């Protein structure tokens, strides 16, 4: 459909939309903002889930968190403690205890339905038992053609 813009500004308004809801800019009181950010740091749920519950964009909540972290660092107060690693202690096994041996790999269960397995130039294909002979032949030809 082609629209002519020759009469731009001369015709009356044909459509007028009023947007309400989340799309508008909101001014959050500091106390509410602080409680939402604190809730997002609780670790009980994801930051995105907290944002959705408060009808916020997750990016907005991440911005608030980043600003809080920056303010706290400027004051010299770490917001979260740095990760702590627990030292590993390795002890030799006593001589009277048997040393565990490596397990044998678990054998795959074979299905009762027959299957065709092909390997051509390092490409492996498995065709289950219900396949038509024409399909199998087409797969083989396709693998040969790619060499």
**Considering the domain boundaries, does residue 89 fall inside one?**
no
Distance, C-alpha 135 to centroid of its chain = 37
Shared-domain flag, residues 77 and 35: yes
Supply the pLDDT for residue 48. Answer: 92
- pLDDT at position 122, please? 73
9 within a domain of the structure (yes/no): no
- For residue range 58-87, list pLDDT tens digits in order: 999 999 999 988 988 888 887 665 566 777
Token pair for 47: 């930051």
136-144: which pairs have CB atoms within 8 A and are 24 or more residues apart?
143/118, 144/120
How far apart are the C-alpha atoms of 145 and 147, rounded to whole Å? 6
Higher pLDDT: 119 or 1? It is 119
| pLDDT, greater one: 137 or 24 | 137
Q: Residue 19 has what pLDDT?
A: 61
For the cut 80, the answer to whether the pLDDT of residue 51 exceeds it is yes
Same domain, 119 and 77: no
Mean pLDDT of 31-58: 90
Task: Tell me if 95 is assigned to some domain.
Answer: no
Whether residue 97 lies inside any domain: the answer is no
Give the end of a domain, one of 25, 58, 81. 81
Whole-prediction pTM: 0.40
Tell me the two tokens of residue 137: 């032949």
Task: Examine residue 74 and state whether it is found in any structural domain, yes or no.
Answer: yes
Structure confidence by residue, pLDDT tens digits, 88-116: 788 877 777 666 677 777 766 655 566 77
Q: What is the pLDDT of residue 115?
A: 74
Give me the DSSP letters along 13-49.
P-------STTS-----HHHHHHHHHHHTSSSS-HHH
51 domain residue, yes or no:
yes
Are both 21 and 72 inside the same structural domain? yes
In this structure, is residue 1 part of a structural domain? no
pLDDT band at 13 (very low <50, low <70, confident <90, very high): low
- Look up the domain containing 67 and give its range: 17-81
Number of structural domains in the chain: 2
The reply to whether 107 falls in a domain is no
Q: Do 22 and 68 fall within a single domain?
A: yes
Q: What percent of the chain has pLDDT over 90?
A: 17
């Amino acid at each position: 459909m082609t629209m002519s813009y020759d009469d731009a500004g001369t015709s009356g308004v044909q459509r007028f939309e009023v947007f309400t809801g989340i799309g508008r800019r909101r001014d959050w009181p500091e106390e509410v903002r602080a409680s939402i950010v604190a809730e997002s740091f609780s670790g009980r749920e994801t930051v995105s889930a907290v944002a959705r519950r408060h009808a916020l964009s997750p990016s907005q909540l991440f911005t608030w968190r980043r600003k809080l972290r920056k303010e706290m660092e400027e004051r010299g107060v770490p917001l979260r403690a740095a990760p702590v690693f627990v030292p590993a202690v390795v002890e030799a096994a006593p001589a009277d205890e048997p040393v565990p041996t490596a397990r044998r790999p678990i054998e795959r269960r074979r299905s009762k339905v027959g299957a065709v397995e092909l390997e051509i130039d390092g490409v492996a294909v498995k065709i289950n038992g219900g396949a038509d002979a024409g399909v199998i032949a087409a797969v083989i030809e396709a693998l040969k053609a790619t060499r």
